Structure 1
Amino acid sequence: MGFDELRTAVLDTRLCTSCGVCELACPKEVIAFDGLEPVLTAAAGLGDEACGDCHDCLDACPGLDPRTPDAELRLFGRVREADERWIGVYREVVGARARDGRLFEASASGGSITGLLQASIDRLGVDTVLTMGRAAGTAWRAAPSLSESAAELVETTQSTYQLAPYLGALRTVMRQRPESRVAMSGIACHVQGVRKLQTLDTEAGRWAREHVVFVVELACSSGTTPRGTEAMIEDLGGVAPDSVTRLRYREGEYPGNIRIWTDDGTRRDVQFWKAVRHFAGNKTHRCLSCGDWMSGLADVSVSDGDPNIFAASVTGTASVDGVAGKHGRVFVRTERGAEVLRHAVGSGVLETWPIDLVGMNLGLERKRNRRATYERSGQLIPAGPIPGFVEELEARPDEEFIAAPVPTLAAGASGRNGDGTNGDVGNSDRRNGNGRAGNGAAR
């Protein structure tokens, strides 16, 4: 009883990542999503009995065990060492940003991921690219987006700090355009789901193995539920979610603000650091206990080049790796990843430069800290990339990493900007403070 097994092992234990790979893997196509939770559809007939002895959904699911060592052996011929615990196996790391001005400006962190995806279309003959976009009819809600050209990708070229069922969107490609070559971006659980699916001797497994040809990964501190975004719009934006016509998470001058457009023609900005603090109340157990900043299983992984975009949001400045402003750190892992990066640079899509991995990334530090807390909690948590590995650090309250700058606490009221648009008055109040780096680089 496959779905019943999935429910017992993953759903009831709160280990579902909402990645959507179960929907893609299901051979009878009877799994769909109710919000963030997979459910059996009416087409299942007699419920779990429709599954028979099939358990493809559980076999592909990364929620309980991503099986990282198995994937590393297939991809790299070895597993990671202890000092590679959070970064994984990689060939080189470089700083990067888009050369195209429109892409660079639209991006949150320089456009490295979008540039790589664009280059894969040209170099690898990719027909379809999966990225995170917005739901039709609900402009603030995250939803998968399928693009067929480099130009289409620009609209989704930002981080999206919201969970949404994702990989199931590839079911449409597999059924309607089965010969398509697919590239995708995703966070750790998305990449792990695809890699597990590619090992299965099933229709979906074989298709994913042959047709998902390029995978780019965003470093992820944690996601937030749709309710987290909705509450942020209400509480910090001061508008009704159903009035929102467009939402961007890192819009404007680096590091960007949450920018909300409404149906009456107004625009409201919420400082990124305030949104980060607000999001903290809407996380899932699986996200908070996750053992991966990067899965390390993509062809290329990308993190924000700025190690502390929370602080950059407070101060309005950032400089790291000797570079001021937004850019990404690109971790090349596979030969295919190296091939696409070379093409992106050679064709003028991206510029790159050598960097050293020095200094703290606060998004990673928060991730490690939370993982250490959960490892000692006695709760059921997902397997990490190194079996038996336990974080040896003094766990701290997460609040310490995203402490609000005291001088701005009294300036939390919202008002109207001088240009007639609505805005958070804190947007011009950039003083010192501590914080975290975000979910990673822009796509």
Structure 2
Amino acid sequence: MTFHQLQREIIEPGLCTACGACQLACPPDVIGFDGLLPVLTADAWGADDCAGCGDCLAVCPGLDPATPAAEERLFGRTREPAERWTGVFAEVLAGHATEPGLYRASASGGSLTVLLQTALLALGAGVALCMGRDPEEPWRAAPVLVRDPAALVEQSQSTYQLAPYLGALRQVMREEPETGVALTGVACHIQAMRKLQAMDTAAGRWARDRVVLMVEPACSSSTRPEGTATLIRERAEIPLESVVRLRYREGEYPGNIEIRTDDGERHTVAFWQAVRDFAANKTHRCLSCGDWMSGIADVSVSDGDPNIFAASVEQREQHKHGRVFVRTGAGAKAVAEAGARGLLRHTPVELAGLNLGLERKRNRRASYEKSGLPIPNGPIPGHTEELAEIVPDERLIAAPETEASR
């Protein structure tokens, strides 16, 4: 297996998730990224020079997320059809951060951030990986390694933008191999890390030994950087080079896009409008994805409000919180420790009713399963999504009548 095979089987069919796992797993460290695409970075190497390794393809979640194998290792069983979209979990809690500053800064209560803080404070992690911003282009998403629990507040909101991600851990693996790692990542990031942990390689052994906690937000799909750039230029009418800070869900719940510029001004775009604009800037892999949550993180978190799009349209405020799916022993320990330290307030909650993000994902997946195009494997082999009607995404996120009539 070679990088050429990764190109042929994953990159060219549009199945690359831009997760960065190939960069992390590559033994000679010759894989990098050109935008969202993996490339060989060593001038002396060609696509066939790495013949015989294949670690980049083995770790890739683009076509095969390998969810059933990970579930067998984690839970001793695979999920049932009734667990298709939620996966195996021990309990679901309604949770939010108790610290007022973090709660205000968060998109949905800050429970995910609290768990990363807890990993740094009490679970043996020395660094947390999360999605931040490129210091040279502050509108662009980029991975960031955080060591100070308080500094995680700046990363506490959702980032609706793709960026190569897991490769940032190579620095820790190479320079601080004894340091424990906590990370947040969407489904493809978690699946890639579980695949890496199953590999009998130096990187695989490091991932098994040093990754102490994985927390994931639910993901209805992410967006190319061009989606954010277009919103800034055309919706907010701001030059990209003037942006000094970008937040996707700032202010009163559910929040709006807030863009700060170098003249000290703050510019906002309604969150519902951004959701609609982003819909035109998805990759094939994100649109055809079969996972709302991977189900194989230690903890998964979704917004407690089942329809944040409607909340944005209606400017409906509520006490924001997240739904915390506790899955593994490591996840249960993190939640218990966060509660014992007074960082996380949580109560049991029942799963019921519609979740718009999940419905968008289900309907898109059902459409792609009938398309004949190459799509990633779902979490249950052979399972197909049977819906009485496949509802197009534009209907699920229809513009308000007052906006549509303009």
| Inter-partner Cα distance in structure 1 for 2:310 and 2:51 | 53
Match of 2:111 in 1: 112
Amino acid at match of 1:222: S
Match of 1:370 in 2: 364
Match of 1:402 in 2: 397
Contact 2:309 / 2:397 at 8 angstroms: preserved in 1?
A: yes
Contact 2:18 / 2:165 at 8 angstroms: preserved in 1?
A: yes
| Inter-partner Cα distance in structure 2 for 1:84 and 1:46 | 45
| Inter-partner Cα distance in structure 2 for 1:183 and 1:263 | 33
Match of 1:287 in 2: 286
Amino acid at match of 1:387: P
Amino acid at match of 1:358: A
- CA drift of 1:366 comes to 0.4
Per-residue deviation, residues 141-167 of structure 1 (Å, max 9, x unmatched): 000010012011111000000000000
Identity %: 61
Amino acid at match of 1:168: G
Match of 2:84 in 1: 85
| Inter-partner Cα distance in structure 2 for 1:336 and 1:284 | 33
- CA drift of 1:178 comes to 0.9
Per-residue deviation, residues 46-69 of structure 1 (Å, max 9, x unmatched): 312331311000000000000100
- CA drift of 1:42 comes to 2.6
| Inter-partner Cα distance in structure 1 for 2:3 and 2:349 | 46
Contact 1:317 / 1:325 at 8 angstroms: preserved in 2?
A: no
Match of 2:212 in 1: 213
| Inter-partner Cα distance in structure 2 for 1:46 and 1:4 | 12
- Match status 1:275 vs 2:306: no
1:34-49 correspondence runs (5 A): 34-43=34-43, 45-49=44-48
CA RMSD of aligned residues (A): 1.0
| Inter-partner Cα distance in structure 1 for 2:215 and 2:100 | 22
Amino acid at match of 1:25: A
Per-residue deviation, residues 317-350 of structure 1 (Å, max 9, x unmatched): 15xxxxx321000000001110110010111101
Q: How many aligned residue pairs are there?
A: 405
Q: How has the CA–CA distance of structure 1 residues 63 and 93 changed in structure 2, closer, same or farther, with 3 Å as cutoff?
A: same
1:64-213 correspondence runs (5 A): 64-213=63-212
- CA drift of 1:136 comes to 1.4
Match of 1:26 in 2: 26
The 3-state SS of whatever aligns with 1:144 is strand
Contact 2:3 / 2:48 at 8 angstroms: preserved in 1?
A: no
Per-residue deviation, residues 343-391 of structure 1 (Å, max 9, x unmatched): 1011110100121101110000000000000001111100000000011
Q: How has the CA–CA distance of structure 1 residues 49 and 379 changed in structure 2, closer, same or farther, with 3 Å as cutoff?
A: closer
| Inter-partner Cα distance in structure 2 for 1:409 and 1:177 | 54
| Inter-partner Cα distance in structure 2 for 1:277 and 1:401 | 10
1:283-322 correspondence runs (5 A): 283-318=282-317
The 3-state SS of whatever aligns with 1:50 is coil
Instruction: Note the residue ranges of structure 2 that are not aligned, 5 or more in a row.
Output: none
Per-residue deviation, residues 58-91 of structure 1 (Å, max 9, x unmatched): 0000000001000000000000000000000000
- Match status 1:337 vs 2:336: no
Match of 1:428 in 2: none
- CA drift of 1:408 comes to 3.2
| Inter-partner Cα distance in structure 1 for 2:338 and 2:241 | 39
Per-residue deviation, residues 224-245 of structure 1 (Å, max 9, x unmatched): 0000000010111110111101
Instruction: Note the residue ranges of structure 1 that are not aligned, 5 or more in a row.
Output: 319-323, 412-443
TM-score by length of 1: 0.90
Amino acid at match of 2:5: E
Match of 2:5 in 1: 5
| Inter-partner Cα distance in structure 2 for 1:127 and 1:108 | 25
Amino acid at match of 2:24: L
- CA drift of 1:410 comes to 5.9
Amino acid at match of 1:177: E
- Match status 1:392 vs 2:400: no
Amino acid at match of 1:174: M
